[in-house]
Amino acid sequence: MIEVTAKLVRGPVYLAGESVECYITFSNTPAPIHKRSQSNSDAFESLAWASAQIHCQCTTNSKVSYPDGNLFTAEEMSTANTEVKGDMLYYQQSQGFYSVIFAYLQGKANPKIVSISDLYSEVLPSEAPPSYRGQAVKYSYKITIGMQRVNCPIKLLRVPLRVLVVSGFQDASLCGDSEELAPSNPFLQIQQKETPFDLAMQALQNLTAKRSPNFYNITKSQGKVVRFCLFKQAYKLGEDIVGTFDFSEATVPCVQFSVVLQSEEEIAPGCRRWAKQSPAVVSYTKYHEVCLSLKHSQLILPIPLHITPGFTTDLVTLQWRLHFEFVTSDTQMIHELPSSDLENGNVWRGPPTLNIETMVWNLPIKIYPTTPLQISQGLQTQLKHRLAV
C-alpha cells in the first residue's frame, strides 16, 4: 500500500498572485506483522503516475442564468480536464445547478508530474476570484493530486485552499520600473525589490488606516434621535468596528438600538434569472443595547475571520453594510427625579407600556483581507492531508 501525504508549506490561506507551495510525499507503508510476504514484489508498490494542479470551482444555483453556448455536458467535462479548453470550463449538473471550473495548470496543457518526494509550486492568478460561500454563488479552491498504481483505479487527494483578493489593488508589476532606467551606482548597496505580497500588505494598511471620523445625525419627522460617530469606514478581517452614540441633544427618546454586520450578494444583471431579482442579505455579528435615559453609548462589533471581504466578478458582487435599528417612543417619560425625591429613597420606575416605533438605517462599509497567517492561526485549519492508495 502506498500512502501519499500533502502538506501546505505556508498554511491554507493565500492572497491572489501569491505562490502556493505544497510538499507531496509518496511512501510505502509497512506490511502488517502477522502477514508474511509471498514474494519480493509484495514488499514494494509501483506507482504508475501522479500529477497535481490547482482548481477553482464555482457552483451556482437556479437564480443564476448562463448563456446556453457556454455549457459543457458531463461527458465533455471529463475530457476537458486533459484537453484544456481555455481557462474557464462550464458543465451542467442535475437539479438546476451549474458549475464552472477554472483550471490553473503548470504549463499550457498538462499538469505537473510529481516524483516520490516533490515540492509542488504554483502561482495563483491575480485576477482569480476569492473563496466564497454565498447564497447563489460559491467559489472554492483545492489542490487536486491524482495518482494511479499499476492495474488499479485512479485515486484523488483534494487539499482545500482559501484565497483572498485585495479589491482595488493594482499589481506593481504593471507599472514601469524607473529604478532600472536610472544609472547604477556601484558604491550603493543593492536593495531587494518588494514582493507583490509586501505591496499588497502596504496597500491594505493604507486602505484601512484610521482617518478623520465621520458623524451622522439620525433624525425622523418628530426630531433628532441620535448623533452617531464612526471612526473609519474601511476594516480588515478580525478588527472591531468601533463607534459612539450621542443622545445628549436628542429630541426623540430612543429606548434601545441594535447594529448588525450584514453582507449583500447581488447577481450581475446579465446573469440574473429574473429581471427584478433582489440582493441576498446575510447577517453576522450583532450589537444590542438598551439606551433609555443614556446620554452616551458605544458600538463594538467584531468582524469574523471566516467571512469573505467585498469583491466583484462577472457573476456576483459582494458588499458589506451596518444595519441599524432604533426603537423610539413618543411616551412622555421623566428621566430624572427631583433632589427631594432622591433624599427620601424614591426610585424612578418606567411606564408599564410604551408606544414604540422602529426606524431602520443602513450604512455601507468596506471590509478587506488581513494577513493570511493571522487567518490560519485564528481558524486553526488542517495543514496535512493523507490518502492510502
The model's pLDDT over 232-272, given as tens digits with 9 standing for 90+, comes to 999 999 999 999 999 999 988 899 999 999 999 999 888 88
Task: Return the residue matching grid coordinates 485585495.
Answer: 166
Using an 8 Å Cβ cutoff, are 102 and 58 in contact? yes
Do residues 262 and 281 lie in contact, with contact meaning Cβ atoms separated by under 8 Å? yes
Burial of 56 (0-12, 13-18, 19+ CB in 10 A): buried
Contact residues for 21 (Cβ-Cβ < 8 A; gap 6+): 8, 9, 10, 119, 120, 121
Q: Worst-scoring range by mean pLDDT, 53-67, 83-97, 135-149, 308-322?
A: 83-97
The lowest-confidence range among 129-138, 147-156, 289-298 is 147-156
pTM over cut 0.85? no
Reported as a pLDDT band with limits 50, 70 and 90, residue 1 is: confident
Residue 53 belongs to what H/E stretch? strand 47-60
For the cut 60, the answer to whether the pLDDT of residue 286 exceeds it is yes
> Residue 282: pLDDT above 60?
yes
Q: Which three cell numbers stand for residue 143?
A: 489542490
CB count in 10 Å sphere of residue 352: 5
Cell representation of residue 64? 443564476
Task: Give the separation between CA 170 and CA 148, rounded to whole angstroms.
Answer: 42
CB 52 within 8 A of CB 22: yes
Query: Tell me, what's the pLDDT at 325?
Result: 96
Evaluate if residue 219 carries a pLDDT over 90: yes
Least confident of 163-172, 215-224, 295-304: 163-172
Asked whether 57 and 139 are in contact (CB, 8 A), the reply is yes
Say whether 60 sits in a helix, a strand or coil. strand
pLDDT band at 96 (very low <50, low <70, confident <90, very high): very low
**Going by C-beta distance under 8 Å and a sequence separation of 6 or more, which residues neighbour residue 281?**
262, 263, 264, 265
- Report the SS3 class of residue 178: helix
CA R_g for the chain: 29
Residue whose C-alpha cell is 459582494: 318
> Quick check: 385 and 5 in contact, CB under 8 A?
yes
Q: How confident is the model at residue 80 (pLDDT cuts 50, 70, 90)?
A: very low
CA 376 to CA 372: how far, in whole Å?
6
Question: How far is the first Cα of the chain from the last one, in angstroms, to the nearest whole number?
Answer: 6
